[in-house]
Homo-oligomer: A and B are copies of this chain.
Amino acid sequence: MNNFMSVFGTEQYFPQLSIDCVVFGYEEKSLKVLMAKFKFGKNIWILPGGYIKQNENIENAAQRILFDRTGLEKIYLEQFRVFGSENRVEKSSVKDEIYDTLTEKFCKADADWILSRFISIGFYALVDINKVNLKVGEFDHFLTWVEVDKIPNMAYDHEEIIEKGLESLRRDLDQKLLGFNLLPETFTMKELLELYEAVYNKEFSMNNFQKKMLDLKILERLEKKFTGAQNKAPYLYRLVESNHI
């Protein structure tokens, strides 16, 4: 194999620049983050990420990277920070562990490219977890959702990226009314409340929360949701069209 030709196709990408995504989903009253078990090495967990093509803008690159993993288009995305300490990759144990495997699978040039020093643009994404169809990426063994308070040890600085992503989400959720991106089309007020409680890891009182939400005039009340439980049936709500972000 020729050492000067990339098998992976590195020429089409920006060198030393990557995107890492903190994809948030909400399920069973918990806020979860999508992560991948790395295909090579042992027990290496990483965020879904990828590279930026030379003729692609950054947001589109992130959309493409996430479409490949989730099958979803037009995901809500927010750039929140750039990560690039000198030793994110080189000083990590991951590098030694996978260098040989990458050289075998691709070629030396690719392994060097992939394991050079990278600066990574952090995005967070909000998805309706029920609409996601997980599909592994080039370097993923499998993908899985993990609750934000049960994040395992992760490769490189990916734990820090999740942390800063969550901070940014907390800063923006209420201000920009982003929560609806994590829920299905219709939802009860209690489900919305529980989403907020999951994100902020703190309890809110139902009636005041309801008043605040209804005062915003962005929700339309639909029919009641009869669950068969012996109590008053809650109303379903939907975000009025013009307020979708």
Total residues of chain A contacting the partner, CB 8 A: 19
Which residues of A (82-105) have their CB < 8 Å from a CB of B?
82, 84-86
| Residues of B close to A14: CB separation below 8 A | 16-17, 119
Q: Which residues from chain B contact A84 at a C-beta distance below 8 Å?
A: 52, 57-58
Copies in the complex: 2
Partner of A52 from B15, B52, B79, B119 at Cβ < 8 Å: B119
The reply to whether the CB of A141 lies closer than 8 angstroms to some CB of chain B is no
Could you mark each residue 15-34 of chain A with 1 if its beta carbon is under 8 Å from any beta carbon of chain B, else 0? 11100000000000000000
Report yes or no: A82 in contact with B54, Cβ–Cβ below 8 A: no
Q: Which residues of B contact A17 (CB under 8 A)?
A: 14, 16-17, 119
Interface membership of A56, Cβ < 8 A: yes
Cross-chain contact A54 with B85 (CB below 8 angstroms): no
Q: How far is the CA of A16 from the CA of B54 in the complex (A)?
A: 10
- The residues of B that contact A221 with a CB separation of less than 8 Å are none
Contacts A/B (CB < 8 Å), 24 sampled: A14-B16, A14-B17, A14-B119, A15-B15, A15-B16, A16-B17, A17-B17, A17-B119, A52-B84, A52-B119, A54-B117, A55-B86, A56-B86, A57-B84, A57-B85, A57-B86, A58-B82, A58-B84, A58-B85, A58-B119, A79-B81, A79-B82, A82-B82, A82-B121
